[in-house]
Structure 1
């Protein structure tokens, strides 16, 4: 990312007096079931309404062919959202799951099954995690044009932690199934 907020700058919780570092967050949004655009916009709205979570950018919307999905899966709408937050990564993950649940995301044993909404944490500042519940940075995002392209639109000189510039990563991925939708957009209120 172009500028990761300084982890030494903190926000003081007015009720508890706790100090929390401000972190830059990259989230990927996707939907290939139901009202896809409405689900993405609903996710943006729900995330923007999250206390201590400040949306700083939303990418253009892309329509993408499903990757490693079951046969017959429909195309996705994808976007990337940038935010600054003082929330811990685990709480962000809980919020992402709650937003998915609000849009009736059904979890399945089938890998990459179609879904009404997918909210993935890609990067949370310089946080690293390899727990089952939370893997940061996202372990496959650096290989996926449907994440890299919209992120690149927002931050062309961003750097994926431990992987390098997203422009270079995007150049190394197959982006033939990633099409920008000029006719639709997400908005932050």
Structure 2
């Protein structure tokens, strides 16, 4: 199945954290790397006042069940010191499971597709760079992007993540 993950960081060495997270996500054969977007710097959405984020979207392939994918994402966040002190607060690393094939889930632990991805330019802009024909919730992501303000999402051409080994 095709897996879409969104990674973000706004504390510490944001770029090194994203590279480390990318490498950690793919350190076993259970998750196969397909693509990673360019790096974008973005303004925070919601929450307390905080610094800008670096964001990327990653596409992978896997036969893992969504709960196992979520556990993997949470474990990688923990490795990089993620602290859940307040909703939408600053973080060393955020790994969101955006979509797992066409699967849907609405449990307290996991909602698929991600319930706010369709309104987040910091997810859709990078995603559109690597999969412009993608569909989320029955609508194309480029169509969804047309409804969003994208001015807070700035390409960082000076930063390029390396393919995980």
TM-score by length of 1: 0.85
Match of 1:80 among 48, 51, 57: 57
Partner of 1:91: 68
1:34 aligns with 2:12: yes
1:59 shift after superposition:
0.3
CA distance in 2, matches of 1:99, 1:168: 32
Partner of 1:6: none
Structure 1: runs of 5+ lacking an equivalent: 1-22
- Structure 2 counterpart SS, 1:185: coil
CA distance in 2, matches of 1:66, 1:143: 14
1:161 shift after superposition:
2.7
The structure with higher relative contact order (CA 8 Å, sep 6+) is 2
1:21-48 Cα distance to aligned partner (Å, 9 max, x none): xx10000000000010011001110111
CA distance in 2, matches of 1:111, 1:49: 29
Partner of 2:37: 59
Counterpart mapping for 1:1-189 below 5 A: 23-71=1-49, 73-108=50-85, 110-162=86-138, 164-188=139-163, 189=165
- Structure 2 counterpart SS, 1:133: coil
CA distance in 2, matches of 1:97, 1:45: 15
- Where in structure 1 do 4 or more consecutive aligned residues deviate above 6 Å? none
TM-score by length of 2: 0.97
CA distance in 1, matches of 2:44, 2:24: 25
Structure 2: runs of 5+ lacking an equivalent: none
1:79-108 Cα distance to aligned partner (Å, 9 max, x none): 000001011100000000000000000012
